[in-house]
Chains A and B, each alone.
Chain A
């Protein structure tokens, strides 16, 4: 167990809908990262938050947004869902914000858009 908690484990929804994925980082970790894993794109970095502030951004779609709350948990909001958004979404956490830190990953949320 990595100590990173993601909910829900599975999510099935329809095109055009909006969903929220939730992540609680390991105790003491201040950074949260979101990754998308799909069969055709592999593990793709979406965004990093550190202590409530955005730090690094990847190729995150405008339909997607994230935030980190004062208690350090994070939410990833996906809206106007398309079939191609079906993927595994992972949250990871690390102690600080900089380079050279290992990331600890949760078990992921499997999103299926029908």
Chain B
């Protein structure tokens, strides 16, 4: 029978290209956002975070952009390398009675070809 599962968006790039991974979040009360990378067989690994009072934050080879008007988050990876191949998740936190709870998006599969 047909298997049931999440159909994750995929992004395929060449080594050295820039990658942009997009995420739409759901809760307009969310005030903290974070990107994780998950490699096969491993737990999610922190990449970069941003608070709602900012619209851009840069790290090493990565940039996160936040557009609160349309509830959109993006992760830009510069000079993508084969080691960047993984599933990328955005997550949001609404604070308050949610405490530290992060709500995760479905994920995007990034494949980098040498």
Chain A residues engaging chain B, CB cutoff 8 angstroms: 2, 4, 31, 33, 35, 39-45, 48, 50, 55-56, 58, 90, 92, 94, 96-108
* B101 surroundings in chain A (CB, below 8 A): 33, 45, 48, 56, 58
B93 within 8 Å of A (CB atoms): yes
B74 within 8 Å of A (CB atoms): no
Additional A-B contact list (7), CB under 8 Å, known A39-B3, A104-B46, A106-B43: A35-B104, A41-B6, A42-B6, A97-B99, A97-B100, A98-B95, A103-B102
Residue of A nearest to B8 (CB): A42
* B81 surroundings in chain A (CB, below 8 A): none
User: Are the C-beta atoms of B100 and A108 separated by less than 8 Å?
Assistant: no
B interface residues, tally (CB under 8 Å):
32
User: Are the C-beta atoms of A99 and B6 separated by less than 8 Å?
Assistant: no
B61 within 8 Å of A (CB atoms): no
User: Are the C-beta atoms of A42 and B34 separated by less than 8 Å?
Assistant: no
Q: Mark B34-60, 1 if CB is under 8 A from A, else 0.
A: 101000011111100101000000000
